[in-house]
Structure 1
Amino acid sequence: MAAATKNVEEIRSRVFLGEFGVKNVHTTDFPGNYPSYDDTWNMQEFQKNFRIDVVNLDENSMEFDMVGIDAAIANAFRRILLAEVPTMAIERVFIYNNTSIVQDEVLAHRLGLVPIRADPRLFEYKNPGEESADEEASEIDTIQLQLKIKCSRNPRASKDSSDPKELYLNHMVYSGDLKWVPIGNQADVFADSGIGPVHDDILLAQLRPGQELDILMHCVKGLGKDHAKFSPVATASYRLLPEISLLEPVEGEKAERLKTCFSKGVIDLEDVHGTGKKLAKVVNSRLDTCSREVLRHNDLKDVVKLGRVRDHFIFSVESTGVLPPDVLVHEAVKVLMSKCQTFLNELNSVDME
C-alpha cells in the first residue's frame, strides 16, 4: 500500500520525457483524479510548501523559482504580466508638420511603440471616449512629449564627403529627440522621475535637408490586453525544473558521450578513486534544455531517467524598462489578488440572494 501511494505521489509530482512522447502529463491539482488516494487540497500544506526563490535580478531582467503551485496559477501570473499590468504609452499623436518620407500613420505607429519611462501608479486612467485635444490634457492622466527637429546641411562638411553623417545635421531622428513637456504641476511633482523614452537610440525616421518634424504626443495609462504597446515586458515565460537521474553507474567512453548529450554544466565527470576511470555525475539539472538527445543512443537511453518537477516553475521576466522586473512581478501579484477578491465578492453576493 505504501509503495502504491509513493508511486501515485511520483506520478502527481513529475512529468517524464520518453523517447516518443511525454508521460504523466497532469495540468491540475483538482482532487479526485486518483482513486484510493487522498489528494484533498490543504491550506496548511500549501503554505508550508509554497515559496519563491529569486535566482537572478538586475535592472531589466529577473529569474525566480515559484514552487508549490498549480500550473493554472503560474500561467495566470504570466498572462497578467503580459496583458494586465498597466504602463504609460503614446496614445495620441498630433502631427503639425511632417515633410519626411515616412507617412503620418506609420510614424504615429512607431512612436506608439517607444517604451516610456514613467511610473503608471502615479497616474489615473483616462476616461473612456474622452477627446484628447491639447487643452484637455490633464496632469493626473497624461504625459506630454514633443518632437521638433529639422534637417539641414552641415556647412563644415568636406566637399568630397559622401557620408550622410558628415553632410547633414539632424538627419537621423531617434527616440532621444522626444522631449517631455510638463503639464500643470508635473514639473514639480515628477522633477526627479526622469520621464521620457526608456532608450534614446530607437530610430524613428531619416531626414534630408529641408525636411522637418513637428509633433506633439500624449501618453496615457493602459493595459497590454488593449494594445501591445502597453505591455510592460519584452518576455515573460516559465518552464518546469528539469530532473535528471542516472539509474546505474556510467563510466569511461559512455560517460564521455553522456556528457555531450546534455547542456553544458549538467553532467560532469569525476575520477573514480584516482584510477583515471571517469564516472558520470549529474551536477546541475536546472541547466538542461530537455532536448532528449540521450535517447538517440541505444546504450544510454535506458540508464537515464528524464523528468520535470510539475510544481516547480522557473520564471524569466524581461522588462521593457518602464519599471524594474521585481516591481512588475509585485504588481502582477496585486492584480491576481484583486481578481480573487472580486470573485469572492461575487460568491458572497450570490449567497446573500
Structure 2
Amino acid sequence: MSDRSKRNRVGIEHDRVTNVSSTDFPGYYPGEDHSWDLDRFKENLKVKISYLTDTSTEFDLIGIDASIANAFRRIMIAEIPTLAIEYVYIENNTSIIQDEVLAHRLGLVPLNANPDYLRWFKKNDPGFEPTDYDTVVLRLQAACTDNPNHPEGTTDPKLLYHNAHVYASQIQFEPQGRQLEWFPDGIVPTNPNILIAKLRPGQEIDLTMHCILGVGQDHAKFSPVATATYRLLPIIDILAGPITGELAKKFRACFPKGVIGINAKGEAYVKDARKDTVSREVLRHPEFEDRVRLGRQRDHFIFSVESTGAMTPDDIFLKSIQLLRKKCQILRKFDLRA
C-alpha cells in the first residue's frame, strides 16, 4: 500500500480505530510540496449522485477534507433560511389543546414556499411593521358539528362528526400585496395529512398565523432538512488468497446483506462495500484473522439528505455551497495576520 493510500485510509481494528488524526492544514505534510493547485483540486473533486427525489437524496462527495464536509452538513441544518409560522393570533380555541401547545404544533408544520421572494422580518425593531415582502398570512378556521347523515351504528368520529380531525390541509393562504404573483400556487403545508387537533361538537378553532423567514440555529422549525448526515466510504480488502466453501458463507454472514457475494467458483468477493456498517463482526472470528482488512476512505463522504419538503434536497445542498462561499468572501476582506 502506497503512502498516499495509507494517509487516505482510516484503519478499523478489532479493538481500536487508527489514523484518525488530521494535519494542521488538511492534506499537507512536512517536507513535501503541497502548494495549492486548482487543476489538481478539480481533478480530485467528484460528486456522484446515487439517487435523487423531491424529498431525499444520497450522493458521494469525494476529494475534500472532513472540515469542509461537516461545514456543508451544519449549514444545511442550521443556516439555510426557510419560511415557518412565528406568530399565532388566536380568536377562539375551545379545543382541549392549550393555546400555547396549539401554537407550537402549528409552528412545526413545514410550509412549501420559496424563501427567495421574501425579506427578513425585523422582529427586534419595535417600530417595524409587517409587509407583503417579509410576512405571509395563513388562516385556520374549523368548527366541529354533528353529521346527521352518518352510517347507523358507526363509532368512527370522522363519520359521526364534521371536522372531528383538523388537518394541515385546512390551513388557508391569504395573499397580501404582490404575494399572489410570487406564489401563484399558494403557500401550503408540505404534508396535508399532518394532524393539528381533534375536535368534538361545540369545539372550534379560529386563528390567524404570520409566517416569517428564519434559520435552524434559531429554531428547529426553520431547518429545511429532517436529517442531513454523512459517513465515510467503507473499505474491505480480502487478503491471503480466496475464501471459499462454507467459510465463504460464514464470511458473508458477518456483513450486512449485499456487502459480500459468492461467485460461481464459490469464492467470496466484495460486492458493494458502501452497504457495510463497519460493525467489525468479522474481526471476532479467529479463522478470518489476517485474511481481511477493514477501513474507511478519509476523503470519500456519503451524504444522506432528507428534506422537510420546503425545498428539494439538491437545492438545499446548492444553497449550502453558496452560503459557505459567502463566508469565505467575508473572511477574505480581513487581514487575519493582524
Q: Give the Å deviation of 1:11.
A: 2.8
**Out of 124, 132, 138, which is 2:119 matched to?**
124
The aligned residue for residue 225 of structure 2 is 233
The aligned residue for residue 309 of structure 2 is 321
The worse-fitting range, judged by mean Cα deviation, of 155-164 and 213-222 is 155-164
Q: Give the Å deviation of 1:55.
A: 1.5
**Out of 156, 167, 182, which is 2:149 matched to?**
156
**Out of 101, 117, 120, which is 1:106 matched to?**
101
User: Aligned partners of 2:182 and 2:71: how far apart in 1?
Assistant: 35
**Aligned pairs for 1:9-88 within 5 A:** 9-28=4-23, 30=25, 34=29, 36-88=31-83
The aligned residue for residue 235 of structure 2 is 243
Judge conservation of contact 1:29–1:70 (CA < 8 Å) in 2. Answer: no
Establish whether residue 252 from structure 1 lines up as the match of residue 245 from structure 2: yes
Establish whether residue 143 from structure 1 lines up as the match of residue 131 from structure 2: no
Establish whether residue 195 from structure 1 lines up as the match of residue 187 from structure 2: yes
The aligned residue for residue 263 of structure 1 is 256
Establish whether residue 179 from structure 1 lines up as the match of residue 172 from structure 2: yes
Q: Secondary structure at the match of 2:263?
A: strand
Question: Given residue 214 of structure 2, which amino acid in structure 1 is its aligned partner?
Answer: G
Judge conservation of contact 1:12–1:26 (CA < 8 Å) in 2. Answer: no
**Percent of residue pairs bearing the same amino acid type:** 49
Q: Secondary structure at the match of 1:271?
A: coil
Establish whether residue 310 from structure 1 lines up as the match of residue 310 from structure 2: no
User: Aligned partners of 1:102 and 1:342: how far apart in 2?
Assistant: 46
Q: Give the Å deviation of 1:34.
A: 5.0
User: Aligned partners of 1:43 and 1:158: how far apart in 2?
Assistant: 72
Q: Give the Å deviation of 1:61.
A: 0.6
Judge conservation of contact 1:28–1:71 (CA < 8 Å) in 2. Answer: no
Structure 2: gaps spanning 5 or more residues: none
User: Aligned partners of 2:61 and 2:228: how far apart in 1?
Assistant: 14
Judge conservation of contact 1:175–1:200 (CA < 8 Å) in 2. Answer: yes
User: Aligned partners of 1:265 and 1:163: how far apart in 2?
Assistant: 45
User: Aligned partners of 1:119 and 1:188: how far apart in 2?
Assistant: 12
Establish whether residue 95 from structure 1 lines up as the match of residue 90 from structure 2: yes
The aligned residue for residue 161 of structure 2 is 168
User: Aligned partners of 1:187 and 1:70: how far apart in 2?
Assistant: 44
Establish whether residue 205 from structure 1 lines up as the match of residue 193 from structure 2: no
Q: Give the Å deviation of 1:37.
A: 4.7
Q: Secondary structure at the match of 1:93?
A: strand
Cα–Cα, structure 1 residues 319 and 27, in superposed 2: closer, same or farther, change >3 Å? farther
Cα–Cα, structure 1 residues 166 and 253, in superposed 2: closer, same or farther, change >3 Å? same
User: Aligned partners of 1:60 and 1:29: how far apart in 2?
Assistant: 37
TM-score (structure 1 length as normaliser):
0.90
User: Aligned partners of 1:284 and 1:166: how far apart in 2?
Assistant: 51
Cα-Cα RMSD: 2.0
Q: Secondary structure at the match of 1:235?
A: strand
User: Aligned partners of 1:27 and 1:287: how far apart in 2?
Assistant: 26
User: Aligned partners of 2:178 and 2:153: how far apart in 1?
Assistant: 51
Question: Given residue 216 of structure 2, which amino acid in structure 1 is its aligned partner?
Answer: G
Q: Give the Å deviation of 1:186.
A: 1.5
Q: Secondary structure at the match of 2:268?
A: strand
Q: Secondary structure at the match of 1:137?
A: coil
Aligned residues, how many?
Answer: 337
Cα–Cα, structure 1 residues 312 and 132, in superposed 2: closer, same or farther, change >3 Å? farther
User: Aligned partners of 1:95 and 1:225: how far apart in 2?
Assistant: 27
